[in-house]
């Protein structure tokens, strides 16, 4: 599965760096094109000449090279790769990745990469179990990186425990599995609504909510990674997304979101309504900024269009509609009611009563309910992991 794949191997300062030679050799043997990026401290454990010889490509370790100071373009490197794997990944490099630091070519390449990134930690057992390292590894997973857990065995310190970098053969197996897995949403067109809507009162004020759009954007990425052609209709948010399978349509109001969603719904196989659309909007929008006058002000509101319900009424038997319910009381019964009233096949329920769930968090705790009232509960997870659970539930529904 690796034949013709372009792989960046990042090597950091760890005694496990000697395994990078075996790993690079195995990748080349599999038919992959390999480029190695090293940190300066990695050179204390293995030479660039060794890895250059095995990879059949120059090894990069600084931003410039050669007598004329040619630039080693980290942006081009990041865009070149089909996958990047940092093996071994030291505690130092893991900490820098987790906190967005960029003081060497490897880190700059990582920040420029648009491909899947794998990280294979290697360190002593107490370092590996330190709360700061565990927290940093959790952050890496939240970013969408895939962490290949260290294994148990004898360590360089002489201690026995978990901290050994996964063996090169296992790393190759992980990459083969990743590239070989069938993309289960290939050929499917997916519509996802995300974020809040802003309903204007006047040119400078609006009615909105605290939705960040993180859940919808994570769903779009996971669906696209499974081969789907995704249209992401997003309300106002600071988030960005770049994926060849994702078309991002930015809107502000509920009316704009409905128009954008309706335009593609008929051709959609799967619609995921994760946006927090305002239930009410001002019946009249002032042309000019409303000046402060008096002790009170009244704004007359009217009900907005229910996007999920309106499109759900047009749903065809070959389409799947998935909704979201953010509740504060009688959560399950309210969610079950929405399944019927909005013609959902699945609904994702989360409660503001659960710590770490709801708007503004990087985590969420959900339950997925189907039309037969089967309920699948999940633990508190990162929104990236929650998105994967939801996409897997959709795939299971398609395959049922």
- Choosing from 209, 225, 354, 392, which is the catalytic residue? 209
Give the DSSP H/E element, type plus range, for residue 229: strand 229-234
Same domain, 130 and 258: no
Q: Cα–Cα distance between 192 and 247 in angstroms, integer?
A: 10
Q: Is 338 annotated as a binding residue?
A: yes
Same domain, 157 and 202: no
Q: Cα–Cα distance between 107 and 112 in angstroms, integer?
A: 9
| pLDDT tens digit sequence for 361-385 | 678 889 999 999 999 999 888 888 8
Give the CATH number of the domain where residue 387 resides: 3.40.50.10300
CA distances from 154 to 126, 158, 247, 275, 349 (A): 13, 6, 49, 50, 45
Report the number of distinct structural domains present in the chain. 2
**1 found inside a domain:** no
User: 270: closest CA among 190, 353, 361?
Assistant: 190
**308 found inside a domain:** yes
CA distances from 4 to 30, 83, 127 (A): 9, 12, 37
| pLDDT tens digit sequence for 22-50 | 999 999 999 999 999 999 999 999 999 99
Q: Cα–Cα distance between 106 and 113 in angstroms, integer?
A: 11
State both tokens at 6. Answer: 């372009």
Same domain, 76 and 122: yes
| More confident position, 350 or 147 | 147
Q: What is the DSSP string of 307-326?
A: HHHHHHTT--TT-EEEEEEE
Q: What is the DSSP string of 154-217?
A: E-TTS-EEEEEPPPHHHHHHHHHHHHHS--TTTT-EEEEEESB--EEEETTEEE-----SHHHH
- For residue 354, what pLDDT band results from cuts at 50, 70 and 90? low
Average pLDDT, the chain: 93
**Mean pLDDT in residue range 257-261:** 98
Same domain, 59 and 127: yes
Torsion angle of the four alpha carbons 186, 191, 196, 199, in this order, in degrees rounded to the nearest 10: 160
Give the number of other CB atoms < 10 A from CB of residue 159: 11
Same domain, 175 and 211: no
| pLDDT for 381 | 86
| pLDDT tens digit sequence for 315-346 | 999 999 999 998 778 888 999 999 999 999 99
**165 found inside a domain:** yes
Q: Which of 145, 180, 215 is the last residue of a domain?
A: 180
Same domain, 31 and 176: yes
**225 found inside a domain:** yes
Q: Is 370 annotated as a binding residue?
A: no
Q: Cα–Cα distance between 305 and 289 in angstroms, integer?
A: 26
* Least-confidence region, from 1-5, 132-136, 298-302, 348-352: 348-352
Domain that holds residue 217: 189-399
Same domain, 226 and 287: yes
Same domain, 297 and 341: yes
- For residue 254, what pLDDT band results from cuts at 50, 70 and 90? very high
Strands 189-194 and 146-147: unpaired
Same domain, 105 and 225: no
Strand partners, 8: 35, 84
Query: Phi/psi at 17 (nearest 5 deg)?
Result: -60, -25
**Mean pLDDT in residue range 196-219:** 94
Q: Is 342 annotated as a binding residue?
A: yes
Q: Is 389 annotated as a binding residue?
A: no
Give the number of other CB atoms < 10 A from CB of residue 317: 4
Same domain, 172 and 232: no
Strand partners, 363: 382
Q: Which of 158, 180, 202 is the last residue of a domain?
A: 180
Give the CATH number of the domain where residue 67 resides: 3.40.50.1950
Q: Is 314 annotated as a binding residue?
A: no
Same domain, 167 and 256: no
**154 found inside a domain:** yes
**276 found inside a domain:** yes
Instruction: Spell out the residues 6+ positions from residue 242 whose beta carbon is closer than 8 angstroms to its own.
Output: 114
| DSSP assignment letter at 358 | S
Strand partners, 249: 233
**237 found inside a domain:** yes
| 353 labelled catalytic | no
Q: Which of 180, 209, 235 is the last residue of a domain?
A: 180
**79 found inside a domain:** yes
Structure-token match 């609006």, residue found: 206
**pTM, full prediction:** 0.64
Same domain, 119 and 204: no
Instruction: Spell out the residues 6+ positions from residue 29 whose beta carbon is closer than 8 angstroms to its own.
Output: none
């Amino acid at each position: 599965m690796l034949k013709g794949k372009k792989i960046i191997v990042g090597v950091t300062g760890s005694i496990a760096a000697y395994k990078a030679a075996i790993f690079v050799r195995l990748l080349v043997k599999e038919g992959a094109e390999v480029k190695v990026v090293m940190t300066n401290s990695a050179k204390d454990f293995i030479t660039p000449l060794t890895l250059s010889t095995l990879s059949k490509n120059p090894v990069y370790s600084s931003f410039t090279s050669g007598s004329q100071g040619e630039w080693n373009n980290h942006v081009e490197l990041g865009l070149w790769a089909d996958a990047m794997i940092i093996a071994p990944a030291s505690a130092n490099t893991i900490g820098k990745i987790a906190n967005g630091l960029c003081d060497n070519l490897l880190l700059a390449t990582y920040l420029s990469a648009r491909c899947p990134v794998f990280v294979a930690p290697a360190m002593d057992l107490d370092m590996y179990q330190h709360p700061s390292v565990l927290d940093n590894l959790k952050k890496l997973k939240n970013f969408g990186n895939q962490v290949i857990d260290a294994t148990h065995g004898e360590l360089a310190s002489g201690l026995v425990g978990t901290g050994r970098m996964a063996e090169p053969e296992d790393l190759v197996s992980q990459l083969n599995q990743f590239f070989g897995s069938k993309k289960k949403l290939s050929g499917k067109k997916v519509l996802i609504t995300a974020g809040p809507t802003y309903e204007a009162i006047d040119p400078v004020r609006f009615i909105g909510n605290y939705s960040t759009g993180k859940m919808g954007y994570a769903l779009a990425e996971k669906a696209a990674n499974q081969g789907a052609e995704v249209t992401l209709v997003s309300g106002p948010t600071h988030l960005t997304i770049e994926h060849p399978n994702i078309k991002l349509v930015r809107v502000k109001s509920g009316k704009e979101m409905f128009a954008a969603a309706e335009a593609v719904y008929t051709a959609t196989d799967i619609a995921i309504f994760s946006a927090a659309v305002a239930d009410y909007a001002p019946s009249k929008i002032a042309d000019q900024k409303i000046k402060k006058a008096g002790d009170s002000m009244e704004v007359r509101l009217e009900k907005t269009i229910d996007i999920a319900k309106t499109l759900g009424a047009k749903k065809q038997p070959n389409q799947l509609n998935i909704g979201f319910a953010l509740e504060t009381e009688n959560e399950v019964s309210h969610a079950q009611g929405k399944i019927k009233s909005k013609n959902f096949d699945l609904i994702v329920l989360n409660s503001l009563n659960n710590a770490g769930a709801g708007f503004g968090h990087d985590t969420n705790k959900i339950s997925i309910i189907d039309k037969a009232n089967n309920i699948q509960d999940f633990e508190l997870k990162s929104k990236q992991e929650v998105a994967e659970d939801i996409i897997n539930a959709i795939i299971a529904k398609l395959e049922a």
